[in-house]
Structure 1
Amino acid sequence: MNSTQHTPPLPYYEDVSPGTGCLPPRAWAPGSDAARLSLGGTWAFRLSPTAAAEDDSFARPGYDASGWGEIPVPAHWVLHGHGAPIYTNVNYPFPVDPPRVPTENPTGDHLRVFDLPGDWPTSGQAVLRFEGVESCARVWLNGEELGTFKGSRLPHEFAVAGLLKPSGNVLAVRVHQWSSGSYLEDQDQWWLPGIFREVTLLHRPAGSVADFFVHASYDHVGGTGTLRVDAEPGGGRVTVPELGLDLATGESATVAVEPWTAETPRLYEGTLTTGGETVSLRIGFRTVLVEDGVFKVNGHRVLFRGVNRHEFHPVTGRALDLATMRRDLELMKRHNINAVRTSHYPPHPAFLDLCDELGLWVVDECDLETHGFVDLDWRNNPVDDDRWTPALVDRAARMVERDKNHPSIVMWSLGNECGTGRGLSAMADWIRERDPSRVIHYEGDLSCADTGIYSRMYAPHAEVAQIGARTEAPWGDAALDARRRELPFIQCEYAHAMGNGPGGLSEYQRLFETHERLQGGFVWEWIDHGFARHTPNGTPYYAYGGDFGEELHDGNFVCDGLLFPDRTPSPGLIEYKKVIEPVRIEGDGSGGTVRITNGHDFTDLSHLAFSWRYEAEGVAVGSGELAVPPLAPGESADLKLPAPAATAPGEETRWTVEARLAAATAWGEAGHVVAWAQLPGSAAAAPASVTATGAPRRGGDRIVLGPGTFDAATGTLTDLGGLTLTGPRLDLWRAPTDNDNGASWQPDERYGLIWRELGLHRLQHRVDAVDLADRELTVRTRVAPAATDVGLTAVYQWTADGDRLRLAVSVTPLGEWSCPLPRLGVRLGVPAALGAAEWFGGGPGEAYPDTRAASRLGRWALSVDEMQTPYVRPQENGARADVRWARLTAPDGTGLRIEGHPPFWFTARRWTTEQLDAAEHTPDLVASPDTVWVNLDHGQQGIGSQSCGPGVLEPHRLLVAPAEFSFTFAPLG
């Protein structure tokens, strides 16, 4: 007897459908006058280990949930004591067997009992709306199942009018951490299940607006805007009082308007009124198109000075409040950022309202990434499997329909790192049919078959230059290759902001400004995703991948932003602001002229006030306002600087010119610095030499020279005018940065690993001679790592003039070096009491050879503790560039003054480089009770972006070569 084996249907959370029971997607309409009831707050909560551990009886009215716990909504349950977050970049944290997911599938049951307000309308319909649930939800109201849905960062609505009661309504939501939708949501971020955006009950009056589409184009030639608002059902009216418009829905009108741009976010207030509802409109007139191979808005080329932005908060995860969203955008605007790519999903819709209001270009990206299939050669990739196409198109539709009325959105992005496939083409076709007014973006298909823009990630500078000249290497189909060459180019991700860095920003920006085709890019990314935690003794730190016991994780790769988790700007953001300034200030201050160039795309310079300051040895000796004409975009003017003030002979002078907001804006106060530059004045006189007047004297195990005492056997300085010192001696090692360690998939050499393999972290110092001459102490050494014959000779020549010691260092390479050095200089230890630093040089923040654009020459004062940059994973940080002299002092005024020639890199910290290297989190760094460790470097290796992007450019590599440099030490107090 033959038997047929039947495969049972998959449960709803594993089938490939987008869900059941949901209403069609529609536009975000926060300005409706219809009644609404927020269902946020405290919900009853129960977590089960599997999807089937509990039946659905909890959804029935009268169920006793008194034994359950509680959870706030919006929230992620893993941030409230139920399970733990998981961080992976590419790999799925479960076996790849689409659409199946593990039996071990944490499932959170949520219960909310609510009453309707007394004035809730008794007629009309009602809709239950979910803004975001990860990753699959099943919903009941008063015991009746409404349906299921997937698409975590997308809205879903259910019709519920017939189920509502005046009081005692029971809303039940079952949420599964894993579902078939998880295969479509492999974005580089924490896996955080839960109801993490708002849940709202919306009244839908009879005759209300089902959906509406605002079409507001701009003719830059005639200066007119054309408005048409389509609505379902028809029969409504649209009014824009400021423009004198009163139109029927579907009717067009053309009037003179001020256009919307990211620089001038002009919005017109309007209303859409039907028989049952009035919806507020904020209308921005603008037109997007690709013309002659250039992306344009309102007829003008746009240069994106952008960032990728995940939604993240160090306490609440992706559950963000409006104040946090506004703070993000205000910080972007204050740092000259003009564009956001919503990596890699549509953001909270209120964020886009703020982009409209404050002015940012937006690439709105679909909630789609299948990156985990890349290591499987894209086998079974859902975007090339027709069974998944309805779910993919549903995600595209929910994004477009929700967000279509935002003027800030200039591109729709199909998703991220999904390979290629028919599903993506279906999404592109649907979007193009629904909204031909915007450009479609997708990076993962070099053919650009479905897109209107050529987009890449982390293309190195040399290739970007070729792309700018349209001479890049051919690819694939000749016809598609030719079409791609005619498209504008952006880097949707570049300059990986992980840890210390990114480097190479200035070189990218010069390329973007040189070639019309290159229209900028989006730094990866906005914020470090570190969760706020405390050690057992209460010390705060930020946790990253692996800190929650994950079986599979990608470590601190989740901390790769321009902001620290608490939204403090990192040195990388300060650098980026300087590099992308929309005003160029250049010139030769010694010649008394300055050139001002307007780099804005749309606005003249009338909103800025310019000032100058003349400084001698870092101290202002004159200042005033600079009259700059209201230059149009792209225009330049050469201006005369005032006659400089008299200064002492030999003083180094410099002009500082600033462009500041002339009046307060929605995002910045009057006087906020938008752009600045320093122009050379008179060069400094050569440093005063130390005339050797003292002779070294040997006495027992000591050598005395001027104010210094040395160990007679090693020639090491141990005391300077009563200050106990350790060193100085040659130092090559730095605690490798994330960019030093690099990424395995990048072709550049990973120098952090090479340095460690070579042994530069464990150098051995051999003293070959300690020679005393008439007025000089010379110490000859060999410095090298074990197990190799490469090394350096270091000759230390000490002289004194009675009050000061001068050290001249001569370095000669030995053997065949195959890599650059991390650093080249000397390290010394000074007493821990010397905790106040002052210096004349670059500041106020850290800088390295390829991250020094924002380093401003001046006199600066910080404590040693304030000089540290608290990267989430500790690494090399805190160097100040171009230092002429530095002082370290104790509260009683005693201390040490150091002068260098040539100018040097100055670093001071309360732990050794080796301790910094060993630390995994900031609490691992324990301050020495005895010593401040000081590095005085003749050279530093650049930073680059190789944690995910290109390495250090050749001009910024610290190649092994003979070197000479000197320092003068003087005790203070």
Structure 2
Amino acid sequence: MHDRPHGEAPARALPYHEDPAPGSGTLPARAWWAESDAARLSLNGTWAFRLAPTAEGTGSAFLADDPAATASWDRIAVPGHWVLQGHGAPAYTGVAYLFPVDPPRMPDENPTGDHRRVFDLPEGWPADGETVLRFEGVDSCARVWLNGQELGTFQGSRLPHEFAVGHLLRKSGNVLAVRVHQWSAGSYLEDQDMWWLPGIFRDVTLLHRPDRAPADFFVHAGYDHTTGTGTLRVDCDVPGRVTVPELGLDLATGEEATAPVEPWTAETPRRYDGELVTAGERVPLRIGFRTVRIEDGLLKVNGRRILFRGVNRHEFHPETGRTVDLETMREDVLLMKRHNINAVRTSHYPPHPAFLDLCDEYGLWVIDECDLETHGFCWMPDWRGNPVADERWTPALIDRAQRMVERDKNRPSVVIWSLGNECGTGAGLSAMAAWIRERDPSRPVQYEHDLEYPDSDIFSRMYTPHDEVERIGRREEEPLADPELDTHRRSLPFLLVEYAHAMGNGPGGLSEYQRLFETYERLQGGFVWEWIDHGLAKRTPDGRVYYGYGGDFDEDYHDGNFVCDGLLFPDRTPSPGLIEYKKVIEPVRITGDPDAGTVTVANGHDFAGTGHLAFTWTYEVEGRRIAAGDLAVPPLAPGERAELPLPPAPDGAPPGEAVWTVHARLADRTPWAEAGHEVAWGQLTAVPRPAPVPPPGPAQAPRRDGGRITLGPGVFDATTGRLRSLAGVDLTEGPRLDIFRAPTDNDRGMHWEADAQVSVHWERIGLHRARHRTDAVELTDDALTIRTRVAPNSRDLALVTVYRWTAGEDGALRLTVGVTPEGDWPCPLPRLGLLLGLPAAYGSVTWYGGGPGEAYPDTRAASRLGRYGMTVDELQTPYVRPQENGARADVRWAELRTADGTGLRVTAGPDPFWFTARRWTTGQLDAAEHTPDLEPGDTVWVNLDHAQHGIGTQSCGPAPLPRYHLTAAPAEFGVEFRALSGG
């Protein structure tokens, strides 16, 4: 008799890399500490490497002691990713798995990298106790041998794994062999929005563990804000003593003691040096006292509600991927601190432990997130097959939670544990939450992707529109069907764990979100998505660096530049979005009433006073400094404000628009910035911009001469009315109405919601191919009037545009433009203004208006009024995928000059304009896929815009708020042109 139907293959055990179990042979998870008096040996460096196409690897030859076994193999750096070192290629998807979804199975095509390192023990390596081999991170599954003996296997790419190896070590010629599979059962749990990058990408270390040394310890350091005391207890698996000399503490492990302390916060990261001493090891401790609780529906630290001004941070380097060195980690933290960021969500896995060390040291709140995301199952009906709802995976889920919590439990910076990201719902998540709460009840647990929040202590959402966020702040959100669950959710504090998708030009709407956070105490801030563009460095044939994204590495499936959505460019240059965010979240607000002669300073810190800041003022007229001085601001506790008198306006100041700027700067050097670093600023208008002065003397009359019309310094085409030259300078393009911009990533919108993409509407109605028709060229005694119709193809839509040119005796040429829309416009306009083409020599720009960086209607908080100078090339923002960029807001006047000083001055009419200048057309900018695609031409294209459509964050979030929509409506605006002589 057969036990199975005829013809069915017998069942076979799954290979280890397809087993949902977390692995075999590894030691229990434990805390991480960077220093002790125990010996350690880094095994980072150059390893022998060979890539095989299947999970079989290269066979067993690389296990042998024989050096010839891998003599012909390639060499790669460990830590590192083999796909970034010439073996295979990286691939990017945001949601989709790059293998058939049949959990836990994998296809036969499974790139597998065999790694081998031969090492000697240092002289005097201790013979007692145990030695542990530690891997900080291997993507995605590893099988490990030492001196021919298999140690075991493991999954969980961004988590540590250790093996006991003391019995296998020899003084010299140790052969460490590691087989790494790109795909494994663990890959189903690691569908984070990032590059797929296999390899041994974090440190490999040999750690001596002396007899009676701790295997693990847990530092409990709470703070009582009512008494100002801290309570310390260090639990350890072996007996020992804990000393904190500064506090006069000397206590046994497991013993509790209380003493007056200064608490640890992200603003005041006070730590105390201590030491854990056992019979086998001395471990330095850096202890931060703080208490995290949810009380009265609010998340509080040390008794106070805190406000997260956060970012989501992936580990990334443009050359080495997720292998990030310590100095780059430090650079990240310093950049965050210098841009007023106070919190990090470690999306979507625990970072290298050294990064958390830096967060402890410099002061950042941390949501530590488990290495878990199953987003690709969202394509299946009801998330069919989702591992978090499949009990076979529960041991792996709990293992991942354990390895995160045990490793990072002694970090004062970690204030929230996150179960993971975008995993749907399932009992496996509940099992993780239960284990975490049992092990560490001192921190709340957060998970966003189950809207009933059975396992979360925090109500968290992603990309929620402003109006809904406000309803949540008022606790007036739409109720859940289950009254008990609804009551639970309404009792929770609210976090936007992702918002303001920082992809390309943007994000817009940050100021409005921040006002909500600061208005409603339930809204405890959010985390911008995300910190850095994941552009991988590529080079043109002539050596220029640019950055690749999905599709640039011959992937057969990818999600394009959706991986470039950060506040930093790949080389860690701050983007305009980061400069904007710094201003929006500044912890000191400076406002005032110039008419009353007062300025108001409000301290928005959660814990710090203003004693570390020095306040100064400047008084400028037309962007030129007239006077400056110190502003005496009394010490302000958190939440306090002071209204102070401004100094009298300086005597003898020249006429013109006058502005006070008040600065809050660091009074002294800090660990993260030098003295004088600007933390916050505010501007107050002392004297408003004067109204435009009418031209002196009688208006000049235009004169027709054959095919030309002359008016003042301008020469026009008699047929079209286009300005062809100004004061002898030939123009590539005379000023004409321009309504299109190269769509931003946010204009392009969410690719899964095509109807919501404003750029789709622009292209459907052909705004990028608008045609201009001249209906009349009219000469009168005082003006030249050109009547035109600007319209896209195949539509009955149009903008009837009237240009009225005038000139007086002062040498200026003035233009007033009137626009009247026709038809039923189905979408906002991208821009409304004038396009002017100048010769390429006009490459130097000076302007008085907003700056120094770019700004758009809903990204202009950081734009401050002043006088600035740059080249045309410096005005460009090098987004990884080129798009509309570089506009300067509120421009009163702008000058473009040649090297000999000759030039053109453009002065605003009644309203300031948006100024943009570049060496390529909008069409060329729109067509470019990477920065090297933009080749400078022989024209400087200048946009003088009356209005721009907002930016928003619709690449993965809300569109611009309605107030920032550029609706087609009647408009009138004007500018003045004046030639400038050289010298």
Which residue matches 2:437? 432
Which residue matches 2:185? 180
In the TM superposition, what is the alpha-carbon distance from 1:693 to its structure 2 partner? 2.9
The whole-number CA distance in structure 2 between the counterparts of 1:331 and 1:722 is: 49
Aligned partner (choices 783, 803, 819) of residue 776 of structure 1? 783
Which residue matches 2:795? 788
In the TM superposition, what is the alpha-carbon distance from 1:646 to its structure 2 partner? 3.3
In the TM superposition, what is the alpha-carbon distance from 1:147 to its structure 2 partner? 0.2
Matched, 1:24 2:31: no
The 5 Å alignment of 1:349-748 reads 349-377=353-381, 378-646=383-651, 650-691=655-696, 693-725=699-731, 726-745=733-752
Matched, 1:934 2:939: no
The one-character-per-residue Cα deviations of 1:457-514 (angstroms, maximum 9, x if unpaired) are 0010000000000000012321011111010000000000000000000000000000
Letter in 1 for 2:593: D
In the TM superposition, what is the alpha-carbon distance from 1:769 to its structure 2 partner? 0.6
The one-character-per-residue Cα deviations of 1:170-200 (angstroms, maximum 9, x if unpaired) are 0000000000000000000000000000000
Matched, 1:888 2:896: yes
Matched, 1:911 2:920: yes
The one-character-per-residue Cα deviations of 1:933-958 (angstroms, maximum 9, x if unpaired) are 00000000010000001000011111
In the TM superposition, what is the alpha-carbon distance from 1:361 to its structure 2 partner? 0.2
In the TM superposition, what is the alpha-carbon distance from 1:359 to its structure 2 partner? 0.2
Aligned-partner SS, 1:591:
coil
In the TM superposition, what is the alpha-carbon distance from 1:765 to its structure 2 partner? 0.2
Aligned-partner SS, 2:875:
coil
Letter in 2 for 1:871: Y
The 8 Å contact of residues 585 and 594 in structure 1, kept in 2 or not, is answered as yes
Which residue matches 2:327? 323
The whole-number CA distance in structure 1 between the counterparts of 2:753 and 2:703 is: 56
Letter in 2 for 1:529: H
The 8 Å contact of residues 650 and 685 in structure 1, kept in 2 or not, is answered as no
Which residue matches 1:839? 847
The one-character-per-residue Cα deviations of 1:4-63 (angstroms, maximum 9, x if unpaired) are 442111100001010000000100011221000000100000000111153223112226
The whole-number CA distance in structure 1 between the counterparts of 2:592 and 2:713 is: 45
Aligned-partner SS, 1:590:
coil
In the TM superposition, what is the alpha-carbon distance from 1:317 to its structure 2 partner? 0.4
Which residue matches 1:850? 858
Which residue matches 1:119? 124
Aligned partner (choices 305, 308, 333) of residue 309 of structure 2? 305
The whole-number CA distance in structure 2 between the counterparts of 1:649 and 1:465 is: 46
The 8 Å contact of residues 754 and 760 in structure 2, kept in 1 or not, is answered as no
Change in 2 beyond 3 A, CA 1:146/1:672? same
Letter in 2 for 1:19: G
Change in 2 beyond 3 A, CA 1:341/1:120? same
Matched, 1:146 2:155: no
Aligned-partner SS, 2:874:
coil
Change in 2 beyond 3 A, CA 1:102/1:855? same
In the TM superposition, what is the alpha-carbon distance from 1:620 to its structure 2 partner? 1.1
Which residue matches 1:253? 257
In structure 1, stretches of 5+ residues that fail to align are none
The 8 Å contact of residues 50 and 58 in structure 2, kept in 1 or not, is answered as no
In the TM superposition, what is the alpha-carbon distance from 1:647 to its structure 2 partner? 5.1
Identity across matched positions, percent: 69
The one-character-per-residue Cα deviations of 1:844-877 (angstroms, maximum 9, x if unpaired) are 0000000000000000001000000000000000
Which residue matches 2:276? 272
Change in 2 beyond 3 A, CA 1:53/1:224? closer
The whole-number CA distance in structure 2 between the counterparts of 1:556 and 1:287 is: 41
The 8 Å contact of residues 690 and 806 in structure 1, kept in 2 or not, is answered as no
The one-character-per-residue Cα deviations of 1:665-715 (angstroms, maximum 9, x if unpaired) are 010110000000001111122112235532111112111111111111101
Which residue matches 1:128? 133
The whole-number CA distance in structure 2 between the counterparts of 1:690 and 1:552 is: 62
The whole-number CA distance in structure 2 between the counterparts of 1:590 and 1:45 is: 72
Letter in 2 for 1:787: S
The one-character-per-residue Cα deviations of 1:356-390 (angstroms, maximum 9, x if unpaired) are 00000000000000000001031000000000000
The 8 Å contact of residues 650 and 683 in structure 1, kept in 2 or not, is answered as no
The TM-score, its normalising length taken from structure 2, stands at 0.98
Aligned-partner SS, 1:415:
coil
Which residue matches 2:828? 820
Which residue matches 2:98? 93
Which residue matches 2:49? 45
The 8 Å contact of residues 57 and 114 in structure 2, kept in 1 or not, is answered as no
Which residue matches 2:2? 2
Which residue matches 1:59? 63
Matched, 1:758 2:792: no
The whole-number CA distance in structure 2 between the counterparts of 1:112 and 1:540 is: 33
In the TM superposition, what is the alpha-carbon distance from 1:749 to its structure 2 partner? 2.9
Q: Mean alpha-carbon deviation: is it higher for 436-445 or for 471-480?
A: 471-480
The 8 Å contact of residues 790 and 816 in structure 1, kept in 2 or not, is answered as yes
How many matched pairs? 971
In the TM superposition, what is the alpha-carbon distance from 1:102 to its structure 2 partner? 1.4
The one-character-per-residue Cα deviations of 1:587-632 (angstroms, maximum 9, x if unpaired) are 1123210011000000110000000111111111111000111111
- Aligned CA RMSD, in angstroms, stands at 1.0
Which residue matches 1:870? 878
The 8 Å contact of residues 748 and 951 in structure 1, kept in 2 or not, is answered as no
The 8 Å contact of residues 746 and 946 in structure 1, kept in 2 or not, is answered as no
Aligned-partner SS, 2:53:
strand
Letter in 2 for 1:400: V
Q: Which runs of 4+ in 1 moved over 4 A?
A: 647-650, 744-748
The whole-number CA distance in structure 2 between the counterparts of 1:147 and 1:812 is: 75
The whole-number CA distance in structure 1 between the counterparts of 2:545 and 2:242 is: 54
In the TM superposition, what is the alpha-carbon distance from 1:582 to its structure 2 partner? 0.4
In the TM superposition, what is the alpha-carbon distance from 1:747 to its structure 2 partner? 9.7
Aligned-partner SS, 1:312:
coil
The 8 Å contact of residues 590 and 682 in structure 1, kept in 2 or not, is answered as no
Aligned-partner SS, 1:237:
strand
Which residue matches 1:169? 174
The whole-number CA distance in structure 1 between the counterparts of 2:363 and 2:943 is: 44
Aligned-partner SS, 2:721:
coil
Change in 2 beyond 3 A, CA 1:793/1:648? farther
The 8 Å contact of residues 468 and 516 in structure 1, kept in 2 or not, is answered as yes
The whole-number CA distance in structure 2 between the counterparts of 1:2 and 1:626 is: 93
Letter in 2 for 1:911: W
Aligned partner (choices 215, 221, 239) of residue 220 of structure 2? 215
